[in-house]
């Protein structure tokens, strides 16, 4: 099977030459959810951002290439137009425009997408589409939500809106960067469930970035474990969780298990 | 680990912080340093030219008298340099006084809150209702003509500004976890205010004080211009402008132009330095 | 020695904007044990931490210190007998102070001489697993995990009876998180300090708690020994909370969403009473469902 997304030898550096990601290779099959797990500073978020050309100022891709559906959209520092992929972020409330109502933001996006397609519809049709989209992400009263500003909604509700906006573009690839970090655990469960059903319904491929081994275990088919800019292990989740090959993976797993660690405290501290 | 990298980067930053990386700031520092140096050296070598000299009056600028002479035949350059000492000293000491008084009052106001805060805030409201120079003029006029009173008046005019600023920063700092930790470890309200809140909210008033130095020079010169600050024949830029204004009408522009230029350059330099500090320390 | 909060009520705002952060919360922490107060945002758990630390006054209710003999000392704040470890370790240290000065501060306020204090600090820094050269650094020069160890040292240096842990691992990486919890457990075993741990993280509750109190919207809905609450949860909210934690094993089929009946405003409508018997017989509030295991009837 040819992979939908294929990343080869991706390296990311800062202007000062500090290496953030080194020689990362990754493949995502159609309809597959691939996780990237790691701790802060591991380079997992930079990897996700680079795939959409969203790296912050002063950070650039120094080597490698990425293809989506056979099109090479990223080659070294050269980012050749946005692939058919969308992204959801860690802090949905901050990712939405605070001065615009949800309805206005959704409809603006829909108008933009229609123009890109060369089609034209009227406002009323767009409103109906917006209501349908919100309904499809489990929002019970979409018409009320359309009239709200992001700060009037909970974080979970805003993440639902973000997911609605992400699927509006009918992408083939969804990049989810810590989409439930910061949400309450009961809300997290709902959003994860929503992502699962949305992915299945639309046949999406997903790159799912998280620091949480539990979330990764439940959401992904394969996972790349990252540590200090390098992929330490890339395999099926069952392999990684039950037959980890890498020492760092084992450390992550034992941290995620619910037993008290028995290792010497002083030794551990110096490793920090 | 990543944290180690961050640490080295931060350390580098601290070292780089006070290095001047901005041409405008470098020029401002150079200009200010030059004026101050000349203000110290020139009067020491050539006298302060307070009394009438044997020069013809109202000579236009020349090599002998780079800024010309005034109507009493005094060398304007010498007088400008003699005045530099006073004006820059006033600017710096007013700024320092305003900084110390303002930030301590501001921090205490934020710390004790309630009644203390209300009284201090109403007092600053009243003082801030007047433009600084008008307030200073009222105070000096009621105290009497004396450069010391004028300096005190300028201090009083600017203190409320710093009280407000340092109070708002102190309120922010007070909400920090390390303040709660300090309270739990047994620190008294005074100890919290002076050891934790003051040092942590000091940065912003400090930057503001550089700007106060420039405004203080302007206001002090204005008071002297209006005749309530430094009295003739002592040299001070504002007083010199006042003396030279009459000559200006007859086309003899230099006795008032050069002191004006000095005010512009000095106050401008302080502004540029303040702006630079603001960006550096932020 | 025991810290008791009884019938604590905290109301923010006045008149129309009145907001009950905490309603009728009663709990106690003894030396040597860890009470975990678990809840999500808006549950009032952080308010409980502040009240217990004496950093915030309760609108109603009492905060009591009692010794083993039953004598109660009221009124004078629990300062110094209660210390706190905060969620954001770096922000809990004064950025203008070196680490040494921060750790020393409680001792200085107790009037311990400089030399003795220095010695105690050096010992404690080693006990929390740090090199002594950390003492001469500023908070921005150390990592989050190191800063949290420093904060633990500062909290313990004055030999408090109770330490309040406010989300002590929430801002740390997962591998660091486990080590901090281990450290806290070891220090408790060694010193007999009691912990009041405020958290939303069920896995740190599993590792450290001896007893658990689950809060929802300002009230305790269930409390009891760790095993009883985690393995035999009675209240529907507790069940939902425990079920919602993703299992770190791909072979376990996990369905985290427990549909709870909700009011139109999104709050839980708790119609199924966890307490045996008829609701009208026992009335609202906490009731014993097993020895030492309480659950609330909110219908």
Tens of pLDDT, residues A227-249: 999 999 999 999 999 999 999 99
Please name the residue of chain C whose CA is at the shortest distance from the CA of residue B2: C143
- Cβ separation of C110 and B186 shorter than 8 Å? yes
Helix residue spans in C4-158 (DSSP H): 45-53, 99-109, 114-127, 144-156
- B-contacting residues of C 124-163, CB under 8 Å? 140-146, 151, 154, 158
Q: Does B52 score more than 60 pLDDT?
A: no
Cα–Cα distance measured from residue A12 to residue B49, given in angstroms and rounded to the nearest whole number: 67
Q: Is A254 on the interface with C (CB under 8 A)?
A: yes
Q: Burial level of A85, CB count in 10 A (0-12/13-18/19+)? A: buried
**Strand C194-199's sheet: what is its strand order?**
C82-85, C162-166, C194-199, C34-38, C211-216, C219-225, C293-297, C285-290
Suggest the residue from C145, C201, C237, C250 to mutate for an interface test with chain A (most A CBs closer than 10 A): C250
Radius of gyration of chain B (CA): 23
Place of tokens 């010169």: B221
Name every chain A residue with its beta carbon within 8 A of the beta carbon of C175: 39, 251-252, 255
Please name the residue of chain B whose CA is at the shortest distance from the CA of residue A43: B2
Q: What pLDDT was estimated at residue B68?
A: 86
Question: Average per-residue pLDDT in chain B?
Answer: 85
Percent over 70 (pLDDT), chain C:
86
Coil, strand or helix at C1: coil
Q: What pLDDT was estimated at residue B177?
A: 93
DSSP C24: E
Is the CA virtual torsion B262, B263, B264, B266 positive or negative? positive
Q: What pLDDT was estimated at residue B265?
A: 95
Name every chain B residue with its beta carbon within 8 A of the beta carbon of A230: none
Using CA atoms, how far residue C33 sits from A133, B201, B262, C7, in Å, is 50, 39, 72, 21
- Cβ separation of B3 and A228 shorter than 8 Å? no
Cα–Cα distance measured from residue C258 to residue C255, given in angstroms and rounded to the nearest whole number: 8
Cα–Cα distance measured from residue B26 to residue B11, given in angstroms and rounded to the nearest whole number: 23
- Cβ separation of A185 and C178 shorter than 8 Å? no
Q: How far is A140 from chain B (nearest CA, A)?
A: 39
User: What tens digit of pLDDT does each residue of C148-158 get?
Assistant: 999 999 999 98
Q: Is A253 on the interface with C (CB under 8 A)?
A: yes
Cα–Cα distance measured from residue B61 to residue C215, given in angstroms and rounded to the nearest whole number: 84
Cα–Cα distance measured from residue A72 to residue B167, given in angstroms and rounded to the nearest whole number: 56
- Cβ separation of C109 and B10 shorter than 8 Å? no
For residue A259, what pLDDT band results from cuts at 50, 70 and 90?
A: low
Size of interface B-C (CB pairs under 8 A): 73
- B-contacting residues of C 60-119, CB under 8 Å? 79-80, 82-84, 86-88, 91-96, 102, 105-106, 109-110
- Cβ separation of C245 and A185 shorter than 8 Å? yes
Chains with 3+ CB–CB pairs under 8 A to A are B, C
Q: What pLDDT was estimated at residue C277?
A: 66
Q: Does A194 score more than 60 pLDDT?
A: yes
Contacts of C278 (CB under 8 A, 6+ apart): none
- Cβ separation of A255 and C207 shorter than 8 Å? no
User: What tens digit of pLDDT does each residue of B103-154 get?
Assistant: 999 999 998 888 999 999 999 999 988 888 888 888 888 888 888 888 999 9
For residue A8, what pLDDT band results from cuts at 50, 70 and 90?
A: very high
Q: What pLDDT was estimated at residue B198?
A: 93
Name every chain C residue with its beta carbon within 8 A of the beta carbon of B10: 140-141
Helix H or strand E encompassing C10 = strand C2-12
Please name the residue of chain A whose CA is at the shortest distance from the CA of residue C205: A258
Q: What pLDDT was estimated at residue C193?
A: 93
Name every chain C residue with its beta carbon within 8 A of the beta carbon of A185: 40, 200, 202, 241, 244-245
Q: How far is A77 from chain C (nearest CA, A)?
A: 31
For residue A173, what pLDDT band results from cuts at 50, 70 and 90?
A: very high
A contact set with B (CB within 8 A): 18, 40-41, 228, 272
For residue C80, what pLDDT band results from cuts at 50, 70 and 90?
A: low
| Mean pLDDT of the region B238-248 | 88
- Cβ separation of B1 and A18 shorter than 8 Å? no
Q: Is A91 on the interface with C (CB under 8 A)?
A: no
Name every chain C residue with its beta carbon within 8 A of the beta carbon of A260: 181-182, 185, 207
Out of B1, B186, B200, closest to residue C79 by CB: B186
Q: How far is A41 from chain B (nearest CA, A)?
A: 6
Q: Is C181 on the interface with A (CB under 8 A)?
A: yes
| Mean pLDDT of the region C27-54 | 92
Percent over 70 (pLDDT), chain A:
94
Q: What pLDDT was estimated at residue A258?
A: 60
For residue B50, what pLDDT band results from cuts at 50, 70 and 90?
A: low
For residue C263, what pLDDT band results from cuts at 50, 70 and 90?
A: low
Question: Average per-residue pLDDT in chain A?
Answer: 88
Contact A62, A11 (CB under 8 A): yes
ipTM of the complex: 0.84
- Cβ separation of C53 and B184 shorter than 8 Å? yes
For residue C78, what pLDDT band results from cuts at 50, 70 and 90?
A: very low
| Mean pLDDT of the region B174-200 | 92
Q: Does A270 score more than 90 pLDDT?
A: no
Q: What pLDDT was estimated at residue B12?
A: 38
- Cβ separation of C40 and A214 shorter than 8 Å? no
Q: What pLDDT was estimated at residue B135?
A: 85
Radius of gyration of chain A (CA): 20
Q: What pLDDT was estimated at residue C280?
A: 64
């Amino acid at each position: 099977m040819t992979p939908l997304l294929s990343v080869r030898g991706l390296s990311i550096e800062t202007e000062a030459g500090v290496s953030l990601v080194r020689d990362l290779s990754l493949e995502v099959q159609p309809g597959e959810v691939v996780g990237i797990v790691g701790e802060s500073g591991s380079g997992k978020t930079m990897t996700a951002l680079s795939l959409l050309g969203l790296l912050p100022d002063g950070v650039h891709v120094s080597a490698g290439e990425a293809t989506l559906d056979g099109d090479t959209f990223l080659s070294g520092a050269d980012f050749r137009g946005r692939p058919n992929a969308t992204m959801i972020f860690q802090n949905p409330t901050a990712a939405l425009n605070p001065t615009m109502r949800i309805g206005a933001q959704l409809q603006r996006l829909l108008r933009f997408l229609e123009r890109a397609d060369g089609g034209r519809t009227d406002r009323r049709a767009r409103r109906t589409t917006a209501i349908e989209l919100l309904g499809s992400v489990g929002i019970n009263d979409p018409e009320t939500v359309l009239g709200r500003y992001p700060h009037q909604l909970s974080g979970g509700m805003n993440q639902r809106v973000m997911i609605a906006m992400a699927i509006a573009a009918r992408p083939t690839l969804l990049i989810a960067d810590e989409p439930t970090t910061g949400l309450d655990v009961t809300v997290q469960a709902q959003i994860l469930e929503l992502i699962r059903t949305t992915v299945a319904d639309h046949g999406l491929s997903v790159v799912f970035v998280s620091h949480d081994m539990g979330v990764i275990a439940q959401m992904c088919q394969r996972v790349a474990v990252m540590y200090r800019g390098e992929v330490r292990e890339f395999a099926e989740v069952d392999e990684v969780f039950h037959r980890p090959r890498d020492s760092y993976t084992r450390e992550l797993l034992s941290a995620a298990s619910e037993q008290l660690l028995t290792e010497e405290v002083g030794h551990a501290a110096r490793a920090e | 680990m990543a944290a180690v990298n961050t640490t080295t980067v931060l350390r580098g930053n601290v070292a780089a912080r006070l290095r001047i990386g901005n041409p405008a700031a470098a020029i401002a520092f150079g200009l200010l340093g030059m004026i101050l140096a000349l203000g110290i050296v020139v009067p020491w070598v050539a006298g302060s030219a307070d009394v009438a000299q044997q020069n013809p009056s109202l000579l236009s600028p020349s090599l002998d008298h780079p800024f010309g002479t005034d109507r009493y035949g005094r060398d304007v350059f010498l007088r400008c340099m003699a005045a530099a000492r006073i004006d820059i000293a006033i600017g710096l000491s007013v700024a320092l006084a305003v900084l110390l008084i303002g930030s301590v009052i501001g921090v205490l106001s934020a710390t004790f809150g309630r009644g203390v805060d209300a009284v201090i805030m109403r007092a600053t409201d009243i003082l801030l209702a007047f433009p600084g120079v008008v307030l200073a003029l009222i105070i000096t006029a009621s105290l009497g003509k004396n450069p010391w009173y004028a300096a005190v008046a300028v201090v009083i005019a600017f203190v409320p500004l710093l009280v407000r600023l340092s109070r708002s920063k102190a309120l922010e700092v007070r909400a920090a976890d390390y303040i709660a930790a300090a309270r739990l470890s047994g620190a008294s309200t005074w100890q919290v205010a002076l050891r934790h809140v003051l040092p942590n909210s000091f940065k912003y008033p400090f930057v503001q004080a550089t700007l106060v130095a420039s405004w203080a020079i302007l206001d002090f010169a204005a008071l002297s211009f209006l005749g309530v600050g430094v009295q003739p024949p002592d040299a001070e830029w504002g007083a010199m402008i006042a003396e030279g204004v009459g000559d200006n009408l007859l086309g003899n522009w230099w006795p008032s132009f050069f002191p004006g230029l000095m005010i512009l350059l000095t106050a401008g330099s302080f502004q540029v330095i303040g702006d630079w500090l603001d960006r550096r320390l932020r | 020695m025991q810290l008791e909060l009884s019938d604590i009520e905290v109301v923010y705002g006045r008149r129309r904007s009145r907001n009950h952060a905490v309603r009728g919360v009663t709990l106690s922490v003894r030396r040597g044990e860890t009470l975990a107060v678990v809840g999500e945002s808006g549950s009032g758990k952080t308010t409980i931490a502040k009240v217990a630390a004496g950093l915030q006054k309760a609108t109603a209710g009492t905060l009591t210190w009692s010794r083993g003999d039953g004598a109660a000392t009221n009124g004078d704040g629990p300062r110094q007998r209660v210390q706190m470890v905060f969620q954001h370790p770096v922000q809990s240290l004064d950025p203008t102070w070196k680490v040494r000065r921060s750790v020393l501060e409680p001792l200085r306020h107790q009037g311990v001489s400089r030399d003795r204090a220095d010695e105690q600090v050096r010992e404690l820094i080693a006990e929390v697993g740090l090199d002594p050269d950390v003492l001469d650094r500023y908070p921005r020069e150390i990592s989050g995990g190191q800063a949290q160890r420093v904060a633990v040292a500062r909290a313990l240096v004055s030999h408090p009876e109770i330490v309040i842990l406010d989300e002590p691992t929430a801002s740390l990486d997962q591998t660091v998180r486990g080590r901090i919890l281990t450290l806290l457990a070891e220090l408790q075993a060694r010193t007999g300090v009691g912990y009041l741990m405020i958290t939303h993280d069920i896995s740190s509750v599993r590792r450290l708690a001896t007893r658990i109190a689950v809060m929802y919207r300002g009230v305790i809905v269930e409390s009891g020994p760790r095993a009883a609450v985690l393995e035999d949860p009675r209240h529907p909210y507790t069940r939902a909370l425990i079920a919602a934690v993703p299992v770190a094993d791909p072979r376990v089929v996990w369905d985290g969403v427990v549909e709870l009946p909700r009011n139109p405003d999104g709050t839980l409508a708790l119609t199924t009473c966890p307490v045996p018997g008829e609701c009208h017989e026992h009335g609202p509030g906490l009731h014993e469902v097993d020895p030492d295991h309480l659950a609330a009837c909110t219908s």
